[in-house]
Structure 1
Amino acid sequence: MKEWITGRNPIYEVITARRRDLFRLQVARGAEEKGRLAQILRLAEERRVPIERVGRERLDSLGENHQGLALEVSGYPYSDLSEILARAEQRAEPLFVLVLDTLQNPQNLGTLLRTAEAVGVHGVLMPLRRAASVTPAVVHASAGASEHLLVAALNLAQGLEALKKAGAWAIGLEGSPQAQAVERVRLDGPLALVVGSEGEGMRDLVRRSCDLLVRLPMVGKIESLNAAVAGSVVLYLAHQARAAKKPPSA
């Protein structure tokens, strides 16, 4: 399966990650070949990717905000849980996994993948069905961060059980009264953070698979944050806790 990635940063990350086959690069005629575009053209030439100069209307048909550039590539390279566990072991770090339960919005998914890559998660779990997959729109929304992540699509309840057997503490994020305030929960150990869908939250089976639930404090007028913002906040809280626990560098 082939697909088109648009936008300069996403395309740059796709090329530098070296995880996909690259078929052809289309560049808008008249585009100034400097900065990031110049870097992409140099990398494409090094990889022997055919470069085509095309009219902007051709790029407009491939996606919004293309920034005068589109790259035809193979489909997203999904991983499996064993690779995620191996990455944690290779880094000699406590397991750190983001679990996304039936997110539907590509922008929210892309935002969470971008945050997950920024804080150094070892991998991301997604359900096999009824959820957004890593489409070109998600790659764009993540600014290409998705290309550097290990993302596995599998049965989430089974995936959570495997993560718990590997030593992770499964913590679900939701705003219910049953959830504990996040500041009272330790986030510095092996962790699987579960974020539910935008409207319904976690499915019952996934929710029951969690060891505990946490909520973010809300002191303003609104009752909740959206899934991408709330998940990103907790990812950074976990990153902060894990960083504080690390011994100082020699």
Structure 2
Amino acid sequence: MFVKSRLLSKVCFMQTRGMHLLNQKAYVDGEWVTSASNQNFNVINPANGSVIGTVPNMNVQDAQEAIEAAAKAFETWKFTTAKERAHLLRKWYNLLVENQDSIAKIMTAESGKPLPESAGEVAYGNSFVEWFSEQARNVRGEIVPSPVPSKKIFIDHHPIGVAALITPWNFPHAMITRKASAALAVGCTCVIKPAEDTPFTALALMKLAEEAGFPKGVLNLVTSDRNNAPA
């Protein structure tokens, strides 16, 4: 059974359609970039120990550049209309659905999940983007009764800034979409740090977000191994 599992995992990955989703660079300020140190680390298929690929081993300098890119993009993104944010999220969702088989195979290759479980997570994760694409239009203020007759109390909601999203290896898709789509819907920008074990699923999501048309700097993703992660 173990041998069969190893073979299945390898076949699933090698037969992945849409190989344009397999990116071996990080995503910062709308560009696919290497690390400042030019160092990389291997991503391993846990079923057979083979190297799937490499991604940048980024450090504090790289993270700071991603934060600065997100902060700069926030100054424009926060003024986009709810309609525009909803439209981009919906485009992202549609692309995620179109490519869900490819994403699931990438996830299985790097996480070791059975393919049906990966497919289930992709569908589950996609639903967060769909949900927040609809909720983006529902951010409303409020008028509160005032204790003073000559005064009115208004409550207005504003995006707070850059959201830092750290996600685990065992839900490499759903924990990104759950957090990022909520932040994007209300006008925040994001810097994402996926687990070192499963960066390719996260990078596939960034590729499709880029195709959906999110402005540069709105979504950023940095990769690093465990040694650099505490920094």
Above 0.5 in TM-score?
no
Q: Which structure is richer in relative contact order (CA contacts within 8 A, separation 6 or more)? A: 2
More helix by share: 2
TM-score range (shorter-chain normalised) is: under 0.3
